[in-house]
Amino acid sequence: MLAEVPLARASISDTLAGVIRVGLTGGIGAGKSTVAKTFIERGAYHVDADKIAREVVAPGTPGLAQLVEAFGQGILDADGALDRPALAAKAFVDDESRQKLNGITHPLIGARTQELTDAAPADAIILHDVPLLVEGHMAPFYHLVAVVHADADVRFDRLTTLRGMDADDARARIAAQATDEQRRAVADVWLDNTGTQEALAAQALAVWNDRLIPLRDNVAAGVAAALPTEVVDYDPTWAALGARVVNRVWALVGGNAGSVTHVGPTATEGTSAVPVIDIAVTSTADVSDALAAGGFPSVEPGVHVSADPGRAVRIAVTPTD
């Protein structure tokens, strides 16, 4: 299996106006295909990382030629196509070989991903289906990250029973991927797939209608979602949400930001508060357009609020010399 590649590190604001990017991920056997199918049937513009990874090293491509030059003719099968197990045996023996593989494939996959993203319609919900999104540290580059979850023993049973995968191979693949805790840390939406496909599809449909369509429309119109006003008991998930938002704001304005910090009552452990994640940004340049395109339209000079109805965020920007 080829190494996963992060997206090109352009900010979300570099995409077309009104477009939102959704990252879909989950462990092997978790059920991402059911969620992707639900979104695609309703008009999502699908960018499949696995498909792109295969395309850029297909027979006759410059990518395959570069791999052969780097790792030898032994990585080809009898038909001249890439023999992935043979490549893995050579490319994953040490860090140097792995870096050589990544140095060839990552730029090709990143360029093709950007090409497909740039071709999206102006009102698109772009669905990036990326199995190793967490491992590639890609979460901050999306307007929203959806994680499909199933317990490891459930996924193991699916892989061995439904896909016929060797048991040792299934265990190794599950163990090599991100943990549930790591996925939870980046998840804006957590879809539980311990039940039926129909139940998972119903969850996905609710996310499409209640989160993705309003988020897309609000970003396109430059409209913020309403913020809550009532004080509630302290929620330990506020810290994780604050960390996710800080990372996303850095991805949007990092080149101009001096600091990005979770502040206010929701940043204080044990404190009851209105459940709004307040973020303080100091910046050496005007970052309003970048924040707006990234899902945080301006509501007054220096203040931005999330366009996502499922994530209450307020950002105060202070210019610095």
User: What are the tens digits of pLDDT across the range 171-198?
Assistant: 888 888 889 999 999 999 999 998 899 9
pLDDT surpassing 60 at residue 43: yes
Phi, psi of 97 (to 5 degrees): -65, -40
Place of tokens 């001096």: 258
Whole-angstrom distance, CA of residue 160 vs CA of residue 234 = 42
Asked if 290 contacts 11 with a C-beta cutoff of 8 angstroms, the reply is yes
CB 296 within 8 A of CB 212: no
Does one domain contain both 213 and 290? Answer: no
Let me know if residue 292 belongs to a domain.
yes
Looking at the structure, tell me whether residues 60 and 125 fall in a common domain.
yes
Residue 304, beta-bridge partner list? 298, 315
| Structural domain includes residue 223 | no
The whole-angstrom separation of Cα 143 and Cα 73 is 42
Q: What number is the average pLDDT over the span 204-224?
A: 97
Structural domain includes residue 111: yes
pLDDT of residue 94: 83
Considering the domain architecture, whether residues 23 and 107 belong to the same structural domain is answered as yes
**28-46: average pLDDT:** 94
32 is in an annotated binding site: yes
According to the annotation, is 33 in a ligand binding site?
yes
Q: Which pLDDT value is given to residue 319?
A: 94
Q: Is 90 annotated as a binding residue?
A: no
pLDDT of 84: 86
Does some domain include residue 1?
A: no
Q: What angle do CA 35, 314, 12 make, to 5 degrees?
A: 50
Q: What is the mean pLDDT of the chain?
A: 90
| pLDDT score of 7 more than 50 | no
Percent of the chain residues topping a pLDDT of 70: 95
pLDDT at 255: 84
Examine the domain organization and report whether 163 and 283 are in the same domain. no
Q: What is the pLDDT at residue 5?
A: 40
277-283/313-319 β-pairing: parallel
Is 178 labelled as part of a ligand binding site? no
- Interval 282-299: pLDDT, tens: 999 999 999 999 999 999
Mean pLDDT for 8-23 is: 61
Please indicate, yes or no, whether residues 103 and 201 belong to a single structural domain of this protein: yes
Asked if residue 251 and residue 209 are part of one domain, the reply reads no
Section 6-35 average pLDDT: 72
Q: What is the mean pLDDT of residues 133-142?
A: 92
Confidence of residue 2 (pLDDT cuts 50, 70, 90): very low
Report how far residue 296's alpha carbon sits from residue 315's, in angstroms, rounded to the nearest whole number.
8
Q: Is residue 306 part of a domain?
A: yes
Instruction: Answer whether residue 6 shows pLDDT above 70.
Output: no
Give the pLDDT confidence score for residue 317 in this predicted structure: 97
Residue 261: inside a domain = yes
Alpha helices in the chain (DSSP H): 32-41, 49-55, 62-71, 84-91, 95-118, 152-157, 167-176, 180-186, 197-207, 213-221, 237-253, 288-293
pLDDT tops 60 at residue 14: no
Domain that holds residue 246: 237-319
pTM value is 0.87
117 part of a folded domain: yes
299 contacts 305 by C-beta, under 8 angstroms: yes
What pLDDT score does 3 carry?
39
pLDDT at position 228 over 70: yes
Q: Which region among 123-132, 141-150, 154-163, 177-186 has the lowest average model confidence (pLDDT)? A: 154-163
Determine whether the annotation assigns residue 270 to a binding site: no
Q: 3-state class of 21 per DSSP?
A: strand
Alpha carbon separation from 133 to 24, 231, 274 (Å, rounded)? 8, 35, 31
Q: What is the DSSP string of 188-214?
A: SEEEE-SS-HHHHHHHHHHHIIIIIHH
Same domain flag for 96 and 56: yes
Q: 229 in helix, strand or coil?
A: coil
Model pLDDT, residue 17 = 57
- 83-129 pLDDT, tens digit each: 988 898 888 778 898 889 989 998 999 899 999 988 999 889 999 99
- Same domain (yes/no): 170, 305: no
Question: Which of 218, 247, 266 is where one domain is finished?
Answer: 218
Q: Find out whether 295 is annotated in a ligand binding site.
A: no
Residue 85 CB neighbours (<10 A): 9
Clarify whether residues 272 and 206 are in a common domain: no
